[in-house]
Every structure is written in C-alpha cells, then in structure tokens.
Structure 1
Amino acid sequence: MTTRRRDWPLITGLLLLSAVPTFGGALRVAALSGGEVTPANERFFAAPVPVLLHIVAAVAFSVLGALQFAPGFRARHRTWHRRTGRVLVLCGLTVAATGWWMNASYPLPPGDGPLLMALRYLFAAAMFGSIAAGFLTIRQRRIRQHRAWMMRGYAIGQGAGTQAVLLSTWMLAVGPTTELSRAALMGAAWTLNLAIAEWLIRRRHPVPAVPTRATKLVEA
C-alpha cells in the first residue's frame, strides 16, 4: 500500500502536465474535422495527416508514459509494462518523426522564427534518438540504460506541457512574447525537463567516481 501511495503524486503530476497540450490537441483536431480555418491552423489543412498522427501519438505517449514511470505500478504490472512499452516506443518515434516533418514542411506560424525552428529540429532528433536507444538497450537486456534513455525521451515529449506553463507565466507576468522570448521559453522548457530527468537518473544510479592518483595513494 505504501508503494501505491508513493506512485500517485508522480502519476498525477505527469497527467496534469499532459492536460493542457492534450486539451489543445483535442481543440485542434475538432477544428480540422469541422473545417474551421484560423491563422493558427491554416497551415495544417493542406496536409492534415502528420499533425493528426502527432496529436494522437503525443497524447498516448504522455498519458501511458505516466504509468510506465511509476515504480510501484510498474513492479505490480510487469506484463502490462512490457506490452505498453512497445506501444510507447512506436508513439514516441511517431511524435518525433512527425514533429520533424511538420517543422520542415509547414510554413512558420506568426511569432515563430529560425531559432525556434532550429530548436525543434534539435529536440525532435534528440527524442527520436533517445527512444531508439531505449528500444535497443531493452532488446539487449540492459535495463538501467533502457530506463535512462526512455526517461530522456519522455522528458522531451512532455516539453509541450512545460512550455504551456512557462509561456502562460510569461504572458501573465510580462505580456506577449516576442520571436526571441518565445524561442527562449520553448527551449528552456525542453532543457528543464531534460535536466530533471538527468537528475532523477543520477539520483537513482549515481555515477561512480573515477579514482585519482592522489586518492589511490591515500587509500594505500
């Protein structure tokens, strides 16, 4: 029972972080389905399939991933963890690949610029590479490395939630974003998520210190 109680703050926090982009994605799907063209979505109407795949895969990746990273839940449902993990790998790779494709193919919306485009390329590639590494390491039964890589990929995938928080806070405290401040906040969200993931990885499995010559002399 104690383990279950420890799981809930993590699961709840990750689901709350997923709520805003999930709601935004649902609104975008509804707008595309209804044929409502707005300045925010007009670039998607010429090729709607990638954005629809991106939204569906991102929602599944963020929601199911919240359960995958709860240690107690994972330990009690190992079969579910393995089966859902395959789905998550597919969803995560789809999110990264469609994000890259949209960045390359769709016109830049108002307020975005070359810096944000470069950041999207960078983090989409990092997400794809992390999840691919997570898949390869679990095939090799390298459990610790698998968890670390999947945590990194999930952290990048959850960037949309953190971006919503940072952008909303900026809007309330400062006002509308500029092209530069928007890019900086979006990049800060991805970086913050990755930094937290790295901290958790190293907290669970600290990197052993490399003994120096002075240390060896003292120990001798």
Structure 2
Amino acid sequence: MLMQRASTGLFWFLSIVIAALAFVVVTLATAIGFDQAAPHLVHYLDSEKLPLYAHIVFAPLALLLAPFQFWAGLRNGHRRIHRAIGYAYAVSIAIAAIGSLLMLPRFQGSTWATTGFALLAVIWVATTARAFLLARARRIAAHRAWMMRSAALTFAAVVLRLMMLPLMATGMPMLKTYDITAWASWLLPLLVVEWLLRRPGRMVQQPV
C-alpha cells in the first residue's frame, strides 16, 4: 500500500511539473522567440507552425489532465467533472498526436527515431479511443485498463526527459538521444502498466 501511494504521488508530481515546465517553455518561446527558448524547434516554424503549436500545447495539457482521471474521489463523487476532463484529455491527445505526425517529415532525427515517435502517436490515439468507447459502453473495468495504457503513453513525455538529461550529460547530442528515447520513453511505462494489469490480484478484475 505504501509503495502504491508513493508511485501514485510520483505520477502526480512528475506529470504536473513536466506539464508546467512545458507550458513555461511555450510561453517563453512565444514571447521572446523559439531561437532563444526552444532552438531545437525553430526549423518547424516555416511550414509546420500550426502542427508544432498543436503538439506543444495539447500534449502538456493531456499530461496535466491524466492524473485527474485516476482520482477516485473525483470519479466517484463528481462524475460530470470526471467525464468533462476525460473528453478534454481525449481531444488533447488527438490534437497533439496529429500535430506530431504532421511534424515528423521535418524531424531531424534518424529514421529509427522517427518510426518510434510515429508509432507512439498512433498507439496513443488508439488506446485513448479504445478507452473512450469502452466508457461509452459502460464497460468500466476495461475502460480503466485502457486508460492506464493511455496514461502510460502520455507519461512518455516525462520518461523521455528523465532519460534525455543523463544521456546528454554523457556528451550524447540531443538528436542522437532520440534513437533511445523515441522507443524507450513509451515502451517502458507501457510494459509497467501491462505488468500491473496482469499480475495476480491486479487492479482490474474483468477481462481487458
């Protein structure tokens, strides 16, 4: 129980902090210029400015909203708010994922990294859509399982940054780190969620 509370608290903390930092970067980039606040994104401004903003605004929003979907007090006591946040979360993911896919032709990383990010965007939308449809069908246990998968993919934004910093500290260029993080950032949290769902005494008791 203690470990579960600690992991839940860490999920809340990292999601909110990374989302807040992302919003700060977006605000600074808009105010003082991407060349000063986010130079690695400058090359998208010529032809992919709208997809860029779609991704850097709505991906952090999805990350910020994700923990609230697992707040039992909100879910059980304020279902309308829970559903409203769920809609906002799903729409944010759709917009952010489409934005990222439209940005990929200008992505300067390797084909391997590009493929990893493309798969992340597609699976991110697919898992979230599955969770949404299950909620509409009142299959609540299965809905929660797929929401966990969706949240794991949303949390890739956190894992990517936590992995990128030590990799860059070793001298690895940012673009090179994507060869690792474009896959590991979402495969690792997704594997953790699958283990949680399938272990004995798992949280979800119905077929997923």
TM-score where L is the length of structure 2:
0.80
Question: Residue 180 of structure 2 corresponds to which residue in structure 1?
Answer: 184
User: Post-superposition shift, 1:177?
Assistant: 3.7
Percentage identity across aligned positions?
26
Question: Residue 167 of structure 2 corresponds to which residue in structure 1?
Answer: 170
- Unpaired segments of 5 or more residues in structure 1? 209-220
**Does 2:150 correspond to 1:153?**
yes
Question: Residue 55 of structure 1 corresponds to which residue in structure 2?
Answer: 56
**Residues 108, 140 of structure 1: CA spacing in aligned structure 2 closer, same or farther, 3 A cutoff?**
same
Judge conservation of contact 1:115–1:183 (CA < 8 Å) in 2: yes
Moved beyond 4 Å, runs of 4+:
5-10, 31-39, 178-181
User: Post-superposition shift, 1:77?
Assistant: 2.3
Match of 2:194 among 189, 194, 198: 198
Question: Residue 101 of structure 1 corresponds to which residue in structure 2?
Answer: 102
Question: Residue 130 of structure 2 corresponds to which residue in structure 1?
Answer: 133
User: Post-superposition shift, 1:35?
Assistant: 10
Give the stretch that moved more between structures: 40-49 or 83-92: 40-49
Judge conservation of contact 1:20–1:161 (CA < 8 Å) in 2: no
> Superposition RMSD on alpha carbons, in Å?
2.9
- What amino acid maps onto 1:130 in structure 2? T
C-alpha separation in 1, matches of 2:155 and 2:10? 17
C-alpha separation in 2, matches of 1:186 and 1:179? 10
Give the stretch that moved more between structures: 30-39 or 70-79: 30-39
Judge conservation of contact 2:164–2:174 (CA < 8 Å) in 1: no
**Residues 146, 53 of structure 1: CA spacing in aligned structure 2 closer, same or farther, 3 A cutoff?**
same
Q: Deviations over 1:167-205 (max 9, x none)?
A: 102223x22247555311331111112122223333312
- Unpaired segments of 5 or more residues in structure 2? none
- What amino acid maps onto 2:162 in structure 1? V
- What amino acid maps onto 1:14 in structure 2? S
C-alpha separation in 1, matches of 2:183 and 2:92? 22
TM-score where L is the length of structure 1:
0.76
C-alpha separation in 2, matches of 1:153 and 1:37? 27
Question: Residue 142 of structure 1 corresponds to which residue in structure 2?
Answer: 139
Judge conservation of contact 2:144–2:204 (CA < 8 Å) in 1: no
User: Post-superposition shift, 1:10?
Assistant: 4.3
Judge conservation of contact 2:124–2:150 (CA < 8 Å) in 1: yes
Q: Deviations over 1:120-179 (max 9, x none)?
A: 11111101111111111111111112122222122212212211110102223x222475
User: Post-superposition shift, 1:116?
Assistant: 0.5
C-alpha separation in 2, matches of 1:133 and 1:71? 21
Question: Residue 114 of structure 2 corresponds to which residue in structure 1?
Answer: 117
